[in-house]
Structure 1
Amino acid sequence: MKHKFCLLYTWFVRTFLILLPDQPLIMRFRGWCYSQVMPQCGRDFQVSASTLLRNLENISVGNHVYLAPNVIINAIAMVKLGNEVMVGFNSVIVSGNHTRIEMSYRFGKSKVNDILIGSGTWVAANCTVIAGAIIGDGCLVAANSAISGDCSSHGIYAGVPARKIK
């Protein structure tokens, strides 16, 4: 029942606040509205109008977190964003993955794993963070990258699949 309430609540917040401009005060208000059903949410959570959040009951964020326009977070399992995390335009964070059965991914069981994004991390535009990813503190995930494994702290990661480049 809680899951259905959260889905309806998310739809309500997004539908009625999507017409308001992406100004810091309004983005903080959006973040505050979403935080009402999240297990943990720090101060200054800023959410752009076109951001799509699914399963709020599985999303935890720290202080000063920013989600840019068109970010999608589908939290089938836990998704934890540390303090001062920025997620760039058109990025996708999804804690579920498909498996193959009889040469097709259509009816395979879902594989779910938590996602952890450490404090001070910047996930740049058009990135995909896949189930089971653990990104350490202070990382930069370069634009158009896909993260599926562990990333040590204070590294720069790029590519598909992403590898440490610095």
Structure 2
Amino acid sequence: MSFPRFATIWQLIRYEGPLSLISTLTFFLPDLPIFCRLRGWLGRPFIGKCGRDFQFGRLVRFMHPGKLTVGDHVYIAEGAWICAIAGCRIENETLIGPRCLLLTTHHGRENGSFRFAKGKMAPIHVGRGSWLGANVVVTPGTTIGSGCLIGANSVVSQDVGSNTLVRPASTQMSPIRKS
């Protein structure tokens, strides 16, 4: 019989447990700015590195938050799921829409099966001032530049340059005009 490593237990006690408790205890509060700020203020000590004015909505799931870096004025909407096992950096003034998935790991395939195959692990970086619309999926090893707009329902599986609009239906990228 094997026992979990000490680091895994420490990760659960130091980071994931308290964040899950905060999410559970504040679930009944609506996603109004004051309550999102309250969740962020309560959760801030349990994120690896966290800037000022961090806010998150209900049902946000953090996996391995000790490896998560969050800048100033970041908002994560209801139902987002952030897996930071390989490291995840979200820069200042970033908006992450409802039900977004930021995944730093995924399953591999070996001998026709996904069950026991070794997967890919790589960090994610989301640049300053970017906005990820609802239901966006960001895959391992992806860098999203500063000032990007990732349209709802997009899957980002390659690096995106700064000031780029990613459209889901055609998965085309185009520059954003200066305003």
Q: TM-score range by the shorter chain?
A: over 0.9
C-alpha separation in 1, matches of 2:38 and 2:73: 13
Runs of 4+ aligned residues of structure 1 deviating over 6 Å after TM superposition are none
C-alpha separation in 2, matches of 1:161 and 1:74: 27
**In proportion to residue count, which structure has more strand?**
1
Map of 1:4-153 to 2, 5 A cutoff? Answer: 4-5=12-13, 6-153=15-162
Q: Is the 8 A contact 1:91 1:125 kept in 2?
A: yes
Task: Give the match for residue 5 of structure 2.
Answer: none
C-alpha separation in 1, matches of 2:46 and 2:59: 19
For 1:46, give the aligned amino acid. Q
What secondary structure, in the 3-state scheme, does the structure 2 residue paired with 1:36 have?
helix
For 1:140, give the aligned amino acid. L
RMSD across aligned C-alpha pairs, in angstroms? 1.5
**TM-score calculated relative to the size of structure 1:** 0.94
What secondary structure, in the 3-state scheme, does the structure 1 residue paired with 2:43 have?
helix
Shift in Å at residue 7 of structure 1? Answer: 2.1
Unaligned runs of 5+ in 1: none
C-alpha separation in 2, matches of 1:57 and 1:78: 9
C-alpha separation in 1, matches of 2:169 and 2:49: 31
C-alpha separation in 1, matches of 2:171 and 2:62: 24
C-alpha separation in 2, matches of 1:113 and 1:93: 11
Q: Is the 8 A contact 1:54 1:73 kept in 2?
A: yes
Q: Is the 8 A contact 2:16 2:46 kept in 1?
A: no
Q: Is the 8 A contact 1:99 1:109 kept in 2?
A: yes
Seq. identity, %: 33
Q: Is the 8 A contact 2:89 2:126 kept in 1?
A: yes
Q: Is the 8 A contact 1:52 1:73 kept in 2?
A: yes
Larger radius of gyration: 2
